[in-house]
Amino acid sequence: MNAEMNGGGLVAENGRKRVSRNNDNEKVDYVYKVVVIGDSAVGKTQVLSRFARNEFCFDSKSTIGVEFQTRTLRVWSKVIKAQIWGTAGQESLPFIAQEDYNSMLPFSFGHQRWVEELRAHADNSIVIALIGNKADLEEKRAVPSEDAMEFAEDQNLYFFETSALTGDNVEAAFNKLLEEIYSVVSKKTLDHDLVKTN
């Protein structure tokens, strides 16, 4: 779908900001659930903390259960509140999802098992981003960039390499994910409205 490996912060198109931080006093137009899933010890909590609070904790402990954070930003002209759920990495998606699964739009840390589970249990319009975290540890790389990009393209996923430690690409990854969720939701709303008028 799209392989993006550089950037962060705001993205400009035609001189307009597509994504920006928002004043928390503004009315929220949409609330999106984002679920950060993947194997244990890949840095899910750190990426979540970097995006939501711009923090990195050197003495972070393993997540037990689920961690929850929010961040409000502006996507195009809409105020979006992202409810971000970070998981421990050992659960199965049906357990996480329960009844509300089709409204969750996950942000996946990458193992093929997670993508297969997402596709088996989620709405087919789900937006998935494959994140290769810890890009600052090049000498300890477990998966070559080329292999990850190829997998992402084959699976129609967005792909980013990030570093929660340095903050590299964390903003860009979440911003792209939220833009795409907004596009999907807008299209569904438009399609629904067209069906209602016919």
User: Which CATH number does the domain housing residue 116 bear?
Assistant: 3.40.50.300
Place of tokens 């049906």: 94
pLDDT exceeds cutoff 80 at 57: yes
Higher-confidence residue: 64 or 136?
136
Phi, psi of 72, deg, nearest 5: -110, 130
- Supply the pLDDT for residue 97: 52
- Supply the pLDDT for residue 65: 65
Per-residue pLDDT band at 141 (split at 50, 70, 90): confident
As given in the structure block, the two tokens for residue 54 are 């711009």
Total structural domains in the chain?
A: 1
Residues 6+ away with beta carbon under 8 Å from 27: 79
pLDDT exceeds cutoff 70 at 193: no
- Supply the pLDDT for residue 7: 37
pLDDT exceeds cutoff 90 at 131: no
The mean pLDDT of the chain is 75
Mean pLDDT to the nearest integer, 70-80: 92
Beta bridge partners of 32: 82
pLDDT exceeds cutoff 60 at 33: yes
Q: What is the pTM of this model?
A: 0.75
Structural domain that includes position 70: 2-197
- Supply the pLDDT for residue 72: 94
